[in-house]
A and B are shown apart, each in its own frame.
Chain A
Amino acid sequence: MITLTIDSQKVQVEEGATILEAAQKAGIEIPTLCYHKALTPYGACRLCVVEITSGGRTVTQASCLRKAEEGMEVQNNSERIIRGRKIMIELLLARCPNSEEIQKLAEKLGVKETRLKKKNEDCMLCGLCVRVCHEKMGVAAISFVNRGSRREVKPPFETYSEVCRTCGACATVCPNDAIKIEDVTKNKPILMPSEFNMGLESRHPIYLPFPQAIPKVPVIDPDSCAHFIEGKCKVCENFCGPKAINYDMKEEYLDLNVGAIVLASGLDLYDISKLGEYGYGKIANVITAMEFERLTAASGPTMGELKRPSDGRIPENIAFIQCVGSRDFRNKAYCSSVCCMHATKEAMLAFEHRPGTKSTIFYMDMRAVGKRFQEYIARAKKEYNVTYIRGRPGRIEVNPENDNPVIWYEETISGEVKCFEAELVVLAQAMVPQITDELAKILGIELDEEGFVKIPDKLSQPLNSTRPGVFACGYVHSPRDIPDSVTQASGAAGKAAEELASSRLNRDSQGGK
């Protein structure tokens, strides 16, 4: 450990640390512009220059570059330094007068105007983009070219780069928004879709799945992380205070000895893009129910505003189409059970978000079989402007003038073929059990033809799979909503308890824990 003095304050740092790092540790502010925690220091902006007295000599040097030494005395606020900084910022202001970052720093340093002739550059040649591309991405798609007053940042030979990986690191790290991916390459960036938000927004290679994630720990996607692909970057490690990132983490195999297994892996969404007639994936304003849920969620991509995809407008006329992929011989023959109710709920939610919104639900049978469900439907009709039309739409087209989806359907009660224009269409997608043949094999259980857990004796052992001691509950057992899943969950726990009873009884008696 080294001890040095900055502005009469004693600071202790590890050997190898720079003066700037020592100052930051002690909470002493030294202005910077071209400094980045994860990149090697460059000393381009000269704002961090300080007076250093060491070994009897006094010099002015960039604190980001000079390493701390034992007994060093640093002056950060002397008149000479402050005057120098003001001149530096005037120079920078003259080069990039529109840069907000430079303006902010100027204000902080008490500089209102630059006395020099103004240019109109965006790039201040801080080199952050070049450094991040070389050091962290390992690509070197851009670099400094030309000399003197013609120096600029460009790909080699001043054409577009072929090797640029469109990672966007240069654009992210630039304080002035002076460089964009389009400036560097003709390659188009591919956004990584956020799985939790149904691809409605993008995420980073290191990300927290959603705000209430348990455990609330970010995760790295090795398929898109530059470190795992190129062996470079590791910028996240530089920023993690508790040093919690371990790139060498491997999957662990645990051996657990258990007496019973409860399978509760839930449901997955069926891919309805193959149902071409609904235009999902082609018509912007045709979305799935789950996408609707994410749009109306406070933690979703639009912070809870039901903005329709094409233009961000809040729709006041919504159509819900039931049984998309369900009760359908070409896809899933069974009924997904919960969609009649969730569509009604979604319609009511849309009304609450924008009172007066009209919702129309196209259905086959209105399956409101649970406690208070029929009354809920009645309330939707009466108070939330929801209309139910019996009919299974055959086709959805789009009105090119306003991007409104147009639904063609047969209204079965009248026998007429009609078309209905809505501002947004929500498809109640089929749901499938979340279990693979592989997992079933590992568990030693059989699945039925539709992929649900096979229950051999539905009457007296409704939660038992084909393997003794393995119980199933929730959607992976059969399509069901929350109350029924919760009930089955307690039931499966009860069955597991029954299974383990004899061994527990030998171990403890009633009254002990």
Chain B
Amino acid sequence: MEEPRIGVFVCHCGINIAAYVKVPDLVEYVKQLPNVVHAERNLFTCSEEGVSAIKKGIKEYNLNRVVVASCTPRTHEPLFRAACEEAGLNKYLFEFVNIRDQCSWVHMREPERATEKAKDLIRMGVVKARLLEPLEEIEMKVAPSTLVIGGGVVGMEAALNLAKQDFDVHLVEKEPEFGGTLRSIHKLFQANQEAAKLVKLLVEQVKNHPKIHTHLSSKIKKVTGFIGNFDVNLDEQGEEKKFNVGTIIVAVGAQPLKPTGQYGYGKMANVLTQLELEERMKRGEPLGQNVVMVNCVGARIPERTYCSRICCMTAIKNASLIKESNPKAKVWVLHRDLMTYGVDFESYYRRAMELGVRFIRYSLEKPPEVIGDGKAERIKVYHELWRKEIELPCDMLVLTTPLIPAEDNQDISKMLKVSLDEFGFLLEAHLKLRPVEFAMDGIYICGSARWPTDVTEGVAQAYAAASKAAGPLRMGYVKAEAINAFVNEDECSGCGICELLCPFQAIELQPRDEKRVSHVNEAVCKGCGTCAAACPSSAITMHHFTDEQILAQVEALFSQI
């Protein structure tokens, strides 16, 4: 192997790193390390200037290894790898040292020690860089079809967008009809469109499109495989079906919380949720002359801290509908902050006030009280702005509750190996940079399954997810990350522990000569390292994280102690 010539680029990251870690000291330190032929610092290595510096450095100093000490591989590893490739270096001869998330950001109050730690981290990175080897990625074909899980408005729109781009779509819905939550909704903000009409229109399009294969009353039993090649097992009305798709979009929606035990819900007949109110309005049932709505029931409380984003508008919409159909009715909306953000919502809120809907601010510490025998008759509430307690007459009490994760989320999470957040909603790869993708390649998310959303935003998300899903479909192939497991077949004893432990079913025993040895499916292997750690014969190495490399890093760390 040629003599390593390592270039180290230490990033200031503006002030994210530089304010806490002495970057010039790091550069001076790095210059003394063996095999480091060039070291420099950049204000923002990820800027055009920084990336050019890497490419220039490689050429000028004839570098054959590059180390960047900056933020996290999650943000810019692809960028720096591409820079290396453009300068003629194999992208796996690049090592990323995280001195931001793992150093400056967590040790803000101890800058001296943070600087020392950064030196340790970079030393370890350089030592590993010395031992890196070039790797090649393999290409895998992508099947030109997508699975959309969830046939609500959002799922249907995603399916239609892909079908119009001439891709096959399997649209799977667990209920006997399409439409999801919108089947229960009465009218939609802004022009009071009937939800049923919107659903009907979409269902017609979906059913008539030749590229969309609909599966109603269907539950997904199993999904195996990887991006480009997912094998789906379906139970469609008792019948087993199988098909193969390239990408998957999850659009399973969410469910409204039923606040049993609160404000008499479940006991008093005239206490409902907003959705139940919608259903009554749809059926044309009488609602009474005095309607009180209480917002944030079960939301923005210590047990469930989040704001469900769309419920203020739902309450205001329903309140406006009641006033429009019965101008003499009295409607109060009790709230703890009105989330009518943006242009349309704010003006709708004003319009509701002009219609005569009354808004009363209450606080978490002094919630409203329901007074009545068998049914809600009066609501007592401490009006925050009048600073006194008032009583409202009540024919119907409507509780505005948040959307909570669908029951399916747990199953989806296990089946597709995607993560959930602390509330149980499905977790996107990155809140800002990858809002409609999962960390798992080839699987995308849209609608309330990720976070409560209304139709307007949900449909935009559906297009976004479809757009992302179409990428690999259109390319026809994807490249598998070369950081994967590698079996030394001579050392392998055929015990099968790795096969049992692999979370992705990426390794299995296969016959070879007279014995059986483990074989890695490089396309599926995610490089997690579980098999390598468990192998009793030490027969498995991880590319780019070999035992030699890791032990060298550990030695480098302790060499200073």
Contacts and interface: CB of A to CB of B under 8 A. Distances in A.
Nearest to B310: A369
B391 interface: no
Interface in A461-513: 461-463, 473, 478-480, 482-484, 486-495, 497-498, 501, 505, 510-513
Interface stretch (A118-126, A139-147, A212-220): A212-220
A367 interface: yes
B10 to A, nearest CB: 15
Interface string A138-167: 000000000000000000000000000000
A285 B305 CA distance: 36
A326 to B, nearest CB: 9
Given A216-B49, A298-B43, A462-B459, A365 B339 contact: yes
A492 B468 CA distance: 11
Nearest to A368: B307
A211 B141 CA distance: 41
**Most A C-beta atoms less than 10 A away, residue of B43, B202, B467:** B467
Contact of B460 (A214, A374, A482, A491): A491
Interface stretch (A102-110, A188-196, A327-335, A436-444): A327-335
Interface in B324-351: 337-347, 350
B329 to A, nearest CB: 25
Contacts of B166: 501, 505
Interface residues of A, number: 67
Contact of B337 (A366, A413, A461, A462): A366
A458 interface: yes
A480 B435 contact: no
A292 to B, nearest CB: 14
B457 interface: yes
B387 A480 contact: no
B48 A413 contact: no
Nearest to B337: A365
A335 B340 contact: yes
Nearest to A505: B166
B144 interface: yes
A459 B49 contact: no
Q: Is the interface of A mostly helix, strand, loop or mixed?
A: loop
Interface in A315-338: 327, 333-335, 337
B341 A337 contact: yes
A333 B346 contact: yes
B14 interface: yes
B460 A488 contact: yes
Interface stretch (B172-180, B230-238, B472-480): B472-480
B557 interface: no
B464 A374 contact: no
Interface in A93-107: none
Contact of A494 (B12, B19, B457, B470): B470
A487 B464 contact: yes
Contacts of A334: 342-343, 346-347
Given A486-B433, A510-B144, A211 B343 contact: no
A298 B431 contact: no
Interface string A334-365: 11010000000000000011010000000001
B555 interface: no
B174 to A, nearest CB: 24
A413 B18 CA distance: 43
Given A298-B12, A367-B339, A487-B435, A463 B463 contact: yes
B342 A337 contact: yes
A216 B166 CA distance: 40
Interface string A185-217: 000000000000000000000000001101110
B309 interface: yes
Contact of B307 (A333, A373, A505): A373
Given A304-B15, A368-B307, A459-B459, A497 B470 contact: yes
A511 B385 CA distance: 64
B384 A491 contact: no
A488 B436 CA distance: 10
Given A212-B49, A412-B385, A479 B475 contact: no
Contacts of B435: 483-484, 486-487
Contact of B161 (A298, A486, A494, A505): A494
Contacts of A458: 190, 344, 456
Contacts of A478: 342-344
B504 interface: no
Given A480-B342, A510-B476, 10 more contacts: A212-B49, A216-B49, A333-B347, A369-B339, A370-B309, A371-B306, A371-B425, A375-B305, A460-B157, A491-B460
6 contacts: A365-B337, A368-B307, A369-B341, A373-B307, A487-B461, A510-B474
Closest A-B pairs by Cβ, 5 of them: A494-B467, A490-B464, A491-B463, A298-B14, A511-B476
